[in-house]
Amino acid sequence: MSFLAEHSIWVFLVLTIIGGGGAAFMGGRSLALGWKPIGLLVFYMLLLGAGVRFIHFALFEDTLTSAYYYVVQTALILGFALLGYHTTRTNQMTRQYPWLYEKTGPLSWKQRN
């Protein structure tokens, strides 16, 4: 048993990182494209974390009510969602308001002089 997965690191990588992380990244991207607040993103990722935990339970008989694994998996999912949200928001701001903002990195922008 590791600190990330109950049974197999491969199950964790496929379900949580690839499946849940991919869905979270796209969810964050979608919310940014709709100009939704970041608080809504956190709420949705808490629900997605519960869904990923349920899939671990249903397919691989992991513990459904394990608070530790739920928190670890949801934190990783939230990280992917924030990455998708901020990369999309940076591109939006610099593409739609090029006279006001310039990109300073993949996750940030600054006001033009």
> Along the 113 residues of the chain, how does pLDDT read in single tens digits?
566 667 788 888 999 999 999 999 999 999 999 999 999 999 999 999 999 999 999 998 888 888 999 999 999 999 999 999 999 999 999 999 999 999 999 999 999 98
Q: How many degrees, rounded to 5, is the angle at CA 82 between CA 98 and CA 36?
A: 65
How far is residue 81's CA from residue 6's CA, in Å, rounded to a whole number? 23
> What pLDDT score was predicted for residue 5?
64
- 42-73 in b/e form (b: 16+ CB < 10 A) is eebbeebbeebbeebbeeeebeeeeeebbebb
The residue ranges of DSSP E strands in 1-113, in sequence order, are: 101-105, 108-111
Residue 49 lies in a domain: yes
Residue 2 lies in a domain: no
- The count of structural domains within the chain is 1
Residue 112 lies in a domain: no
Residue 59 lies in a domain: yes
Enclosing domain of residue 16: 9-88
Residue 65 lies in a domain: yes
> What pLDDT score was predicted for residue 113?
85
Instruction: Copy the structure tokens of residue 55.
Output: 């899939």
Check: CB of residue 50 under 8 Å from CB of residue 64.
no
To the nearest 10 degrees (0 to 180), the angle between helices 21-33 and 38-60 is 160
How far is residue 32's CA from residue 70's CA, in Å, rounded to a whole number? 25
Check: CB of residue 53 under 8 Å from CB of residue 6.
no
